[in-house]
Amino acid sequence: MKKTIIGLLFLCLCLPSIQAQEDTLRTTRQVMRSTLYGIGHTNLLDTYLSPMEYTGPELRILRENIRNTKYMDGKVYRQSLFQANVSLTENKAGTGSEFAFLANWNLAYHYSFYKSGKWQLQAGPNLDLNGGMIYNMRNSNNPVNAKAYANLGASGMAIYHFKIKKHPFMLRYQLNVPLLGVMFSPEYGQPYYEMSIAKDFGKNIRFTSLHNQPSVRQFITLDFPIRKSTLRVGYVYDIQQAKVNHLKSHMWSHSFLIGFVKHFQIINPYQ
């Protein structure tokens, strides 16, 4: 397990260096940036805090940056995706509430292996970093549980271009699945002050994969022109769940988003 964790940390350090190497090769890059804001619904379960499910509204922001690289004759695209969501939920009995926050940064390299007519298909590896917390307003002991985990996974994207009355539209579907990772988790009934006193985190940093962290993130977006701007509407289906240290947790989210997209070129004058 130690070798796996060391390997994951090594890859986390290496991926940003790939970006630096690209910058030395690039003369011109096509860039797409977007910022979306959305509202949705969340279902929370964290048995460290409570055996009950909590549901309620969610607010989400999503920022995306995609640009082409010079790898494989320009068929590799780099995607940086940041999103954060906050929710205020309540249990079915109406006897307690939970506040949750989760931030996610995803770095993916997609290879365009199929492009014909209106269709384009891409796939590649991705690095996924997550951090946040859940606060149970009813608990006096152990009211907060921190969320921190990192994954290496697979990402795929399908893009469809079409026109309506000569106006260009772009429909996109993306799927991200974590395959290997590490996760922080307290043990069942373990107070946080006990961890700080003992300073032994060996049992609190756990290896994860599909068997104990079956999670998925799905995105559907539609781009269309509004005068001289490009409007984007989207839907996010975010399923984060795990079973580690005899604790179960999930954060199931459905969010509808809207925002604008910018397309431009960046020229490197030093190349």
Distance, in Å, from the CA atom of 231 to the CA atom of 10, rounded to the nearest integer, reads 39
Instruction: Find out whether 135 and 144 touch, Cβ atoms under 8 Å.
Output: yes
Query: What pLDDT, on the 0 to 100 scale, is given for residue 85?
Result: 98
* Residues in the chain, pLDDT under 70: 1-28, 196, 198-202, 267-271
Res 8: pLDDT: 46
Give the predicted TM-score (pTM) of the model. Answer: 0.84
Instruction: Give the list of residues 6+ apart from residue 211 with CB closer than 8 angstroms, or none.
Output: none
Q: What is the pLDDT of residues 199-216, one digit of tens each?
A: 666 689 999 999 999 999
Nearest to 217 by CA among 128, 134, 133, 132: 128
User: Do the beta carbons of residue 175 and residue 211 sit within 8 Å?
Assistant: no
Q: Are 70 and 26 in contact (CB under 8 A)?
A: yes
pLDDT of residue 268: 57
| Homologous superfamily of domain range 33-267 | OPCA outer membrane adhesin/invasin (2.40.128.100)
- CA distance linking residue 269 with residue 271, whole number of Å: 6
For 270, how many CA atoms within 13 A lie in the half-sphere containing its CB? 4
